Amino acid sequence: MDDTLLLVDKPVGFSSFQIVRLLQRKYLKVGHAGTLDPFASGLLIMLPNQATRQFENIQVMEKEYTGEIVLGVSTDTYDITGSLTEPVRAMNSLLDLEGYNGMAQRFIGEIKQVPPRFSALKWKGQRMYKLSRQKKEITMKPRNVIIKSFQIEKVDPPILTFKSVVGKGVYMRSLAHDFGKAAGCGASLLSLRRTRIGKYRVSTASTLGDILRIVSC
């Protein structure tokens, strides 16, 4: 743990903002660098008090993830928590580990990625997830992002286990969605865990229990 930063291993089911609210019981000011969806777990860097000045530096650090993609399932959120946008599809052909990694290679480097409609990004001044819940028509423009590595580590149809290192602004849900389109059967993110941000690793992070003890002191 850094002297000025607080590393947290966020559990599944909690939002990043809920962790902020917990720490606000102890610190006058709390920020965080790199939001994690409630269904995801892993490293969340909290910035208490003067550490908020480091926000910009941390935002540009590369991030490492592990997770699972489920093939044949397409949802409006691009993850397993969303509503189906089409019936579950069977895969036309099953590839082996080498075959799926060949497909994953297409996404390595600087690519164009469209963010999920259900995200905290703003569109015309409003949060996209709020507009999406209201069934508003949104036309999202693709953004240039960098995928440094994308490795399929295990094939257990219809689930693929992966590891990836990405640059700023990458949505792993969009990567899973786009991978499913390339596979011809659709896909959604089944699970996600952030294991590293720059030099900071989840193995050195505080648990939720640690955080509760910190705020109760």
Nearest-angstrom CA–CA distance, 45 and 16: 10
C-alpha torsion angle, residues 200, 206, 207, 211 (rounded to 10): -130
DSSP for 53-102 reads: GGHHHHHTS-EEEEEEEEET--BTTSBTTS-BSS-----SS---HHHHHH
Nearest-angstrom CA–CA distance, 8 and 210: 9
Show the tokens assigned to 108. Answer: 């390595």
Long-range contacts of 136-143 (CB under 8 A, 24+ apart): 140/114, 140/115, 141/114, 142/112, 142/113, 142/114, 143/112, 143/113, 143/114, 143/115, 143/169
Q: Are 149 and 109 in contact (CB under 8 A)?
A: no
| DSSP 8-class letter at 211 | H
Residues in the chain, overall count: 217
Residues tagged active-site = 37
